[in-house]
Amino acid sequence: MKISQEGRGPLLQDQLPLDLPLDLPIDQLEDVDFPDLSDHLKGEVTVALRASELLMRTMDVPTTDPAEISDMVGFQIDKISPFPFDQLAVSHEILETGEDQSRILMAAAKRKRIDTIGTTFSKHATRIHSIDARVLGWLQLLQDAEQLDGGACEILVIVDGIDFILAVLHNGKPLIFRPLETDLDDMEVVDELTYEISYTLTTLDAEHDLPAPDTLTFWSLETIPAALQARLKEKTGLDIKCSSLHELPPLSEGILRRTISPEQRIELIPAEWIEQENNRKMRKQFAIISGTIAAVWLSILLVFLGIFKARDMKLARVQADYNAIAPLALQAEQNQQKLKALKAYTDRTYSSLECLREATSLLPAGDIEFVSYNYSKEKGITLRGTGRDKSIVTDFFTTLNKSELFDGVRNESVTERTTKGVRRAVFSVTLPIAEREGEA
């Protein structure tokens, strides 16, 4: 199945038959000459383990906190496992959550077997994304197809040619799995199943107070012999119901549904595998980002080099044009300066007398006297004088500021001073001459 932003694509099924000895030890798996798996397995791969390779238990814990549940799982697995905890891959999934307790399914597998499977796949350039349990894939398909009665005590036997599993369910959730080393062609399976059912129900009854079941349901790829059904009913006292696994989608679809489910599920991938994969993805992303940055930088550099070259060529043309007209431009500039000087000396519009006339004409009615008057073509005129009071001087400054002959009022100051018993306002002001038309 291909998953993208647009959603899930169609689910395609295929199989690759492998001719392996039935008694092949797991530690010899690496020596098997597999076909090239990379040609068949694309994307993220989930491996499903048979029940006999797993230690699976259901437990009620007095908490709903995920961290506390994880700690309890490790402690409980360490208690019931015949192998040291550091040699196991451990996981769990939450089946039900109450107000202050949770029912969880714990699973553990020997780390050596997990590593062997991982090495076998990696030799063929295939990375394992997830590790689940086959029996849980079948239960997913049965649940989705509404083939579970959801009763308080439901007994299933799943036989798919690889697993032979006795499962007890409570309200549609698993309580226990018991893998059996037997097959349907052997009538001794009746005695084994009868014993396992009796022992399992006795064990569970102490914890869950289960009602007595009335039906044993077989889900098998093979037809259950009528003689085996009759004898099993006689020995167990249960009605025997037989269904075919062919009625369900392939097991791989059940595993896939669990893999893409947002709910927490059993995940036996070792933490260091996840860390290694994250590091690999980070290195890949870093390489992509680095390459992208380098490509962008190179593109920008080439653009700037092109712009620089074009501007350099344009500058060379402008410099050549400048060199050609520079003597004429210098002569024209000198002539313009001479013309300005001539205008300044011949134009009486901005002469000292005209400036004095303008300043005098703008005097407000009242008592204002000029003490000094200084004229400069570059700086303008500077006036000093006295007035009756500050207000009349201020009005004078305001009127001067509006004159078109002067470029505003600069460095104005007004103070009051008493001379020979007479108090007057003493002022000074600079009036720059406005810029003349055509001058810059």
At residue 166, the pLDDT reads: 94
- Strand order of the sheet with strand 173-179? 173-179, 164-170, 154-159, 215-220, 239-244
- One digit per residue, the tens of pLDDT, for the chain of length 440 reads 555 556 666 666 666 666 555 565 656 666 666 666 666 666 678 888 988 889 998 988 999 998 899 889 988 888 888 888 888 999 999 998 888 899 999 999 999 888 888 887 777 777 788 899 999 999 999 999 999 988 889 999 999 988 999 999 998 899 999 999 888 877 888 999 999 999 999 888 877 888 889 999 999 998 999 999 999 999 999 999 999 999 999 998 999 888 888 788 888 888 787 777 778 778 888 889 989 999 999 999 999 999 989 988 999 898 888 888 888 888 888 888 888 777 666 666 678 888 888 888 888 888 898 899 998 877 889 999 999 988 998 998 999 888 888 888 988 899 998 888 888 999 999 999 887 655 54
Q: Are 89 and 114 in contact (CB under 8 A)?
A: yes
Query: What is d(CA 21, CA 184) in angstroms, rounded to the nearest whole number?
Result: 20
The one-letter code for the residue type at 246 is: H
Inter-residue long-range contacts of 417-425, CB under 8 Å, 24+ positions, other chains counted: 424/386, 424/387, 424/388, 424/389, 425/386, 425/387, 425/388, 425/389, 425/390, 425/392, 425/393
At residue 108, the pLDDT reads: 92
Q: Please state whether beta strands 368-376 and 239-244 pair in parallel, antiparallel, or not at all (unpaired).
A: unpaired
Length of the chain: 440
Q: Are 112 and 27 in contact (CB under 8 A)?
A: yes
At residue 40, the pLDDT reads: 65
Query: What is d(CA 292, CA 303) in angstroms, rounded to the nearest whole number?
Result: 16
Residue 87 CA, chain-centre distance (Å), reads: 34
CA 397 vs CA 353, 385, 411, 418: distances in Å = 20, 12, 11, 22
Phi-psi region of 171 (alpha: psi -120 to 50; beta: other; left: phi over 0): left
The full 3-state SS of the chain, as one line of letters, equals: CCEECCEECCCCCCCCCCCCCCCCCHHHHHHCCCCCHHHCCCCCEEEEECHHHCEEEEEEECCCCHHHHHHHHHHHHHHHCCCCHHHEEEEEEEEEECCCCEEEEEEEEEHHHHHHHHHHHHCCCCCEEEEEEHHHHHHHHHHHCCCCCCCCCEEEEEECCCCEEEEEEECCEEEEEEECCCCCCCCHHHHHHHHHHHHHHHHHHHHHCCCCCCEEEEEECCCCCHHHHHHHHHHHCCEEEEEEHHHCCCHHHHHHHHHHCCCCCCCCCCHHHHHHHHHHHHHHHHHHHHHHHHHHHHHHHHHHHHHHHHHHHHHHHHHHHHHHHHHHHHHHHHHHHHHHHHHHHHCCCCCHHHHHHHHHHCCCCCCEEEEEEEEECCCEEEEEEEECCHHHHHHHHHHHHCCCCECCCEEEEEEEEEECCEEEEEEEEEECECCCCCCC
**DSSP β-bridge partners for residue 383:** 373, 429
CA 404 vs CA 352, 355, 431, 435: distances in Å = 15, 11, 11, 10
Query: What is d(CA 58, CA 76) in angstroms, rounded to the nearest whole number?
Result: 11
At residue 129, the pLDDT reads: 82
At residue 195, the pLDDT reads: 93
At residue 134, the pLDDT reads: 92
Query: What is d(CA 204, CA 209) in angstroms, rounded to the nearest whole number?
Result: 7
Helical pair 134-144 and 251-260, crossing angle rounded to 10 deg: 90
Taking every pair of Cα atoms in the chain, the longest distance, rounded to a whole number of angstroms, is: 146
